[in-house]
Amino acid sequence: MDVVKLEKEFNKELEQSSNLDQLDTLYLKYFSKTNGLFTNLLKSLSNLSIEEKKKLGPVYNQLNSKLRNQIEESRKNAQQKEINDPLIDLTYPLPAKKTGALHPTTQLIREMNEFFRYYGFSVAEGPEIETEEYNFRKLNLPEGHPATDLQDTLYLNSKSGILLRTHTSSVESRILTDYKPPIRVVVPGPCFRNETPNSTNGSFFYQYQGVVVDKGITIQHLKSTLELFHKFLFGNDVVLRFRYKYYPEVSPGMGTDMRCKFCNGAGCPVCKYRGWIEILGSGMIHYNTLKLCGIDPEVYTGFAFGMGIERLVMQKFGIEDMRDLYEGGMVYL
Ligand SMILES: [Zn+2]
């Protein structure tokens, strides 16, 4: 295209462009760095001989600034027109910005709190920096107890026994120590263990603990509570399996498995071909634990259960790698 024809074409289009959008489109058509009509013309200069360059160069440059100024001028006019337009209200509020959502872990914790509140539980919190006394001793884990080796603990000061709590059972021992039965409480919160993070374990994770202590509490109360809870989380067709399991702070201890919803028990990668998914650990609070916390085990009994929340979040939201929950990805928010 020659220069004269291009200018003519440009002026015609400029006349037809009355608003900012149209002017921007026009600008890109002629001056886009990659494929603008005028840009291409300027580029074509490099193919010409030195004499022709000397002759045409200044003409092109002059035209370049002329056309750009014309667009700029028209933009200003269009802007002024918009400001004066009685149909455009500049005081009108902007559309709301996207503010994100609660973290999936927080969402699930709140849902679970709702459920337990309905059944008369209080929601409690406790310190994340703990003493060995509350984190281990009062939970029937005396010094040197083999179970304390099961948990690689992060100590802030190993001499004085100050540590980052390894479970929210530490709040259980605080509540049993500080309050009189009847007690009905759930404790959500972060816990810390000295573990190398992988797709299903992290050094930082959330635990959800439940504690009930009263006269006449039996394992049947525990089972029915857990059944209701699993139905609430996973639907009425959930199938549970209770089996004996050792946890030092309870006796007897009870592991709770849910039949895998993905394969209906046949075995699949989600349940590691077991057909069942372990959801939580629970049991009747150990005689010694009650005694160590100052509650008379001859009068009161109780149960406790605890579960990792991440595993539930991953099941519920279909998240495959636990680390994704804590790496600040906006996708999850
Ligand atoms: Zn399965």
Residue pair 309/105 in contact (Cβ under 8 Å)? The answer is: yes
Ligand 1 center from residue 238 Cα (angstroms): 13
Ligand 1 center from residue 5 Cα (angstroms): 71
CA dist 307 → 204, 255, 263 (Å) = 14, 10, 22
Whole-number pLDDT of residue 287: 92
How far is C-alpha 76 from the chain's CA centre?
Answer: 46
CA dist 318 → 83, 122, 124, 235, 293 (Å) = 50, 29, 28, 16, 40
Whole-number pLDDT of residue 148: 65
Residue pair 122/185 in contact (Cβ under 8 Å)? The answer is: yes
Ligand 1 center from residue 277 Cα (angstroms): 8
**Alpha-carbon gap, residue 145 to 31, rounded angstroms:** 77
Ligand 1 center from residue 32 Cα (angstroms): 55
Torsion of Cα atoms, 14 then 16 then 19 then 23, to 10°: -30
Low-confidence residues of the chain, pLDDT below 70?
1, 146-151, 199-201, 329-333
Ligand 1 center from residue 75 Cα (angstroms): 63
Amino acid occupying residue 129: I
Ligand 1 center from residue 312 Cα (angstroms): 15
Ligand 1 center from residue 320 Cα (angstroms): 14
Ligand 1 center from residue 262 Cα (angstroms): 5
Whole-number pLDDT of residue 219: 94
φ, ψ dihedrals at 178, nearest 5° = -90, -20
Amino acid occupying residue 328: G
CA dist 88 → 75, 91, 173 (Å) = 17, 9, 65
Quick: pLDDT tens for 297-330: 999 999 999 998 888 887 777 777 777 777 776 6
Question: Please, how many CA atoms are within 13 Å of residue 237, restricted to the half-sphere of its CB?
Answer: 4
Ligand 1 center from residue 66 Cα (angstroms): 71
Q: Helices 50-84 & 20-31, crossing angle to 10 degrees?
A: 170
CA dist 168 → 134, 205, 208 (Å) = 10, 11, 7
- The residue written with tokens 């139905």 in the block is 231
Whole-number pLDDT of residue 120: 93
Quick: pLDDT tens for 200-243: 667 888 999 999 999 999 999 999 999 999 999 888 888 999 99
Residue pair 302/169 in contact (Cβ under 8 Å)? The answer is: no
Closest to 305 (Cα-Cα) out of 152, 147, 186: 186
Whole-number pLDDT of residue 255: 92
Ligand 1 center from residue 318 Cα (angstroms): 14
Burial environment of residue 316 by CB neighbours within 10 A (0 to 12, 13 to 18, 19 or more): middle
SS3 track for 47-84: HCCHHHHHHHHHHHHHHHHHHHHHHHHHHHHHHHHHHH
Ligand 1 center from residue 276 Cα (angstroms): 7
φ, ψ dihedrals at 281, nearest 5° = -110, 145
Ligand 1 center from residue 81 Cα (angstroms): 65
Whole-number pLDDT of residue 221: 95
Ligand 1 center from residue 266 Cα (angstroms): 6
Residue pair 161/133 in contact (Cβ under 8 Å)? The answer is: yes
Whole-number pLDDT of residue 179: 92
Ligand 1 center from residue 149 Cα (angstroms): 31
Whole-number pLDDT of residue 332: 61
Ligand 1 center from residue 271 Cα (angstroms): 4
Ligand 1 center from residue 315 Cα (angstroms): 12
- The residue written with tokens 């309905």 in the block is 118
Burial environment of residue 62 by CB neighbours within 10 A (0 to 12, 13 to 18, 19 or more): exposed
Ligand 1 center from residue 202 Cα (angstroms): 23
